[in-house]
Structure formats: structure tokens, C-alpha cells
Amino acid sequence: MVRAIVGANWGDEGKGKITDMLSKKADIVIRFQGGSNAGHTIINNYGRFALHLLPSGVFYEHTTSIIGNGVALNIPYLIKEINSIVEKGVPTPKILVSDRAQLLMPYHILQDSYEEARLAGKAYGSTKSGIAPFYADKYAKIGIQVSELFDNDILSEKVEKICLLKNTLFEHLYNKPALVKEEILNTLFEYRDMIAPYVCDVSEYLYNAIKSGKNILLEGQLGSLKDPDHGIYPMVTSSSTLAAYGAIGAGIPPYEIKEVIAVVKAYSSAVGAGEFVSEIKDENEAEELRKRGGDSGEYGATTGRPRRMGWFDAVASRYGCRIQGATEAVLTVLDVLGYLDKLPVCVGYEIDGKVTKDFPVTAKLKKAKPVYEYLEGWKSDIRGIKEYKDLPLNCRKYIEFIEKELGVPIKMVSNGAGREDIIYR
């Protein structure tokens, strides 16, 4: 059976922990989109890890971890990440990389940095990981597929074309040095040697795995509101963050995705620019939540940037679950809120004097003001509690209020950073 684990918000919902936990019963875990631009933080018996390219199932010896064709593959970054977890005592993971995945190259990272510098105050808040230029090249058909690494003639012809196009930008728009064909080819030959042991026809592998009844997890990056089609465009990522894309980015039939687990944060956070209706405007209030949040404060796992903080946004989260096709939800970081007397929940948006509960397009979102309901806090530490019935009454009321707003059953509640800090409902 195939299950997808995806984010319902702006990313940073705690998907890594949930994937790590569910991987205990999984045979295969697949990354199907994005690249090293986002991170999944995991705390387990091996220590604390921030994964960027590796699937979160790498900590179990029985799982096979797959980099799907939809991923922006930074080969040296992947190899470095594998080595870093092995150095910390994690058994060497079983890794497969799709022969149809495309390469994120050093010139993509350069272009990303150059463009952000050019845009200056109007920049999109890129992580400068090369993601946008990578996907632009992919759809412009000048990307380099893993399979092409093993054909020197194809590589030579393609790199020549890349240099012609990129150098027009680099030299005349950015006033930067030109790319050199021979240097790029030498880099590609190095990459070929590094990745060769892992290359596989992943779609065929997964076809056979599904036929034999294997348990498969699709692990999404970022969240619904960062999807380029359905998110807060243009302040979005460059690949689809939706479960539906898992079929394309992994190479499986869409009807094989039987369950979609949407991970929802008990409050809101976002990295980078973009519309964020329930954002806390009082910086002291925001900083208090930021310091208490996550597993070691709310800071980007990739960039280290302080996250923007907000109260739970029922409008955005309900939309996020809907657009993901969620069959169930997981509520994370609930334990963080135990210090509050009152819990604001954004239940509607006021736009041009009218209140809506539907998440609008970005142009209307810019005008939206939050409409809050306030719930009583529980004023206690809920970490360590294992049974739902043992949670404080006001805590259960908060969960049940959110569940009603989402319209999706909350099957799990995370009440701590560790792998076992989970309550099943």
C-alpha cells in the first residue's frame, strides 16, 4: 500500500518526525519532489538530524530509501548527507536513485544567488539552493538526467547548449564570469562516479514492489501553501508540494496512493516572504512562541532563518488539507502551547468588509485580516502523556475544535520532539 505524508501549511509542520515514525512499518520511503532547499528535523535514538535530500526513513535498516525522478538531485550534497549520518552511528542506508532524476548543478546555485542579488528588495526569499533555476532548466529541456551521465556524446552536446544559454545571462544580465564547458564536463564525470552505485530504474522497481504488497511512504517537502499552482504564488517553491504529484515524482500510478496524511501544525510558522494572515504582529509575543517552538526553537532547518510566527489558521489549514486530498491529519507541536492563557484561532478572513472561510487567491489574500476565536489554554506541560484521555480537558477541546474546522479526522497528536512522543486517537 502507498501512503503519502505531506504538509498542509507553509512547510516545517513536522513531516520528518511522522515519516521517521511510520517508517518503522514501511518497506520503502520515497522523496518525490524538491531538493536540498528544505529540511526535515528528526530526533531518535541515534541523535538529532536535519535531513535535506535523504528520505526520513534512512534510520531503519529494513527500509529502502529512494530519490525519485521529481527530485532536484544535488549529488555531492546527497553523498555528504549519507556520510554524515553514517559517521554518527546510523547503519549505512539502502539508497536508490532514479535514472530519470535530473541534476542540480553548481551553476544553478550561482544563478539563484545572482538573481536574488539582482532583485534585491523584491527578491522571493530563495534559500539559494538553486531550486528555481533547476526546475526552469528542466522544463526548458536543458536539464541533465542521471541516465545521460553515462553517455559522453549526449553530455558534451548538452553542456555546449547550456553554456551558450547560461553565459548570455551570466555575462550580460549579471555581469559575472562565463561558464566553461570543460569544467562542467569534468564536474559531471565526477558526479557519475559518485552516483553510479545507486542508480536504478525506480519506476520499474516500484511497480514490482507494489505488486508484491510492499508498504510504501511518499515523503513530501514543504506544504500546500508553497505549491506553485495552489499556494501563495509567486512566494512559492518550484515543484509541486501536493500528494498528487507523488505519483509523477516517484513514477507510480495515481490510483495506488490509498492514504494521504496531512501534517498540520498546532500554531503557524513560515520562512520567507509571502502572505501570512494569522501572523503575530507583536514581535515580543512572536519571539516567545518562536523560542518555545519546534524542537529547539523555530528556525529554518536549511537557512537557520527565524521563522515568522502566527496562530493556528483554520482557513489556510482546511484548504491545505483539501487540496492535498487528506484522508487524515496529524497535529504536531501541541506541547509548545502549554504556556498560554488563551489560544487564538483564526477562523475566518475579513476581505473588503466581508468574512470568508474560504482560502482565496493571492491578490485577495493580500487584503485579508484575521478573524479570531479564543479558546481557554490548559496551562500545563503535556509532554510524556501517552493516552488521549489523559490530556487536560482544554487541550482536548483545542484538538477537537481544530478537527471540526479541518473537516478531516486527526488520528495522531505529537506532544514532543522525540520519535515516541505521539498520541494515537
User: Nearest CA to 280 among 315, 316, 308, 310?
Assistant: 310
Model confidence pLDDT, tens digit, residues 69-79: 999 999 999 99
Question: Cα angle at 127 between 74 and 156, to 5 degrees?
Answer: 35
Dist CA 198 CA 58 (whole Å) = 14
- How far apart CA 300 and CA 81 sit, in angstroms, is 18
The reported pLDDT for the residue numbered 402 is 98
What digits encode the pLDDT tens for the residues 86-117?
999 999 999 999 999 999 999 999 999 898 88
Burial level of 121, CB count in 10 A (0-12/13-18/19+)?
A: exposed
Strands lying side by side in the sheet with 328-332: 199-200, 94-98, 64-67, 28-31, 216-223, 2-7, 257-265, 328-332, 410-414, 422-424
pLDDT lower than 70: segments of the chain? 121-126, 295, 300-303
pLDDT at 273: 83
CA 31/CA 70 separation, integer angstroms: 8
Q: Give the global pTM.
A: 0.92
Sole residue written with cell 486530498: 325
DSSP conformation class of 24 = G
- What pLDDT, on a 0 to 100 scale, did the predictor assign at position 124? 61
C-alpha cell at 409: 479526522
Q: Which H, E and C letters describe 174-237, residue by residue?
A: CCCCCCCHHHHHHHHHHHHHHHHHHEECHHHHHHHHHHCCCCEEEEEEEEHHHCCCCCCCCCCC
**β-pairing, 2-7 with 257-265?**
parallel
Tell me what pLDDT residue 256 has: 98
Domains of the chain: 2-101+198-261 (3.40.440.10), 102-195 (1.10.300.10), 263-424 (3.90.170.10)
Q: How far apart are CA 339 and CA 289, in angstroms?
A: 9
The predicted pLDDT at position 125 comes to 59
pLDDT value for 126: 65
Catalytic positions are 12, 40
Amino acid at 411: K
CA distance linking residue 408 with residue 340, whole number of Å: 26
Write the CA distances from 215 to 1, 205, 404, integer angstroms. Answer: 5, 13, 30
Pairing of strands 422-424, 268-270: unpaired
